Amino acid sequence: MRLPQIVAKLTRLHPELTVELKLTNQFVDLIAEGIDLAVRGGIMPDSSLVSRKISASELGIFAAPEYLERRGKPRTTADLLKHECLCYGDRTGKLPWRLSGPKGDHTVAVSGSIVCDDMVFLRGAAIAGSGLALLPVEMTIAAVRAGKLVRVLPRHGYVGGGIYLLWPSQKLVPARVVVVRDFLLAELAQIYRDGSDQD
């Protein structure tokens, strides 16, 4: 959501740079595809890539007040099975919700009529009252402040992932890549320190 502003600032500061973006939720082999830098969320597996953690990331369950008025607020994770849940996934399948709570970790095989591989869309669908969504907490801050989203079952969520900047391991990183890498590290870290997002 903030990436267009970051790239605009970068290209104003360094007009000699050409920035080519690939926006996808699919796994991309950076080396095979000749990609200099990547921003990824989740738990990073061991790899030959160099990574810098920008921020920890927690997922929580959110819904619009209008949806909760219509369908009621879930009181337990078992109640999630009775709700319309906005699922992350694609044609090959949807991901169950892995949640941590006071009684430990467990998985809930939620269901719903919307499945999407984009968190920004799922956030928008939740704001529109389409159901419950498991979303990164940092991308819901403005919507919660504005009363557009409410966190439900706040003692349950998914903790342990993060937001990372990654690049292929190289002894000599091109100067233009160093400029962009350092800029992204500073800008993204500032965003997560501020706890800000955008509608």
pLDDT tens, residue order, the chain (199 aa): 778 899 999 999 999 999 999 988 778 889 899 899 998 887 777 677 888 888 888 899 999 999 999 999 999 999 999 999 999 987 777 888 999 999 889 999 999 999 998 889 999 999 999 999 999 988 898 899 999 999 999 999 988 678 889 998 777 788 999 999 999 999 988 877 765 555 5
The reply to whether 47 and 66 lie within a common domain is no
CATH number at residue 33: 3.40.190.10
Give the pLDDT of residue 153. 96
pTM of this structure: 0.77
> Quick check: is 21 in a domain?
yes
pLDDT, residue 152, reads 97
Q: Is 130 found in the same domain as 152?
A: yes
Say which amino acid occupies 81. L
Asked whether residue 20 falls in the same domain as residue 105, the answer is no
Is residue 199 in a domain? no
Q: 66 and 142 in one domain?
A: yes
Q: Are residues 49 and 140 in the same domain?
A: no
Is there a single domain that holds both residue 82 and residue 129? yes
CATH for 151: 3.40.190.290
Same domain, 21 and 105: no
Same domain, 85 and 118: yes
Report whether 164 contacts 51 (CB < 8 A): yes
Residues 138 and 172 reside in one and the same domain: no
> Which residues on adjacent β-strands are paired with residue 168?
49
| Residue 34 lies in domain | 3-56+161-194
Q: How many domains does the structure of the chain reveal? A: 2
Q: What confidence score (pLDDT) does residue 24 get?
A: 82
How far is Cα 51 from Cα 35, in angstroms, rounded to an integer? 14
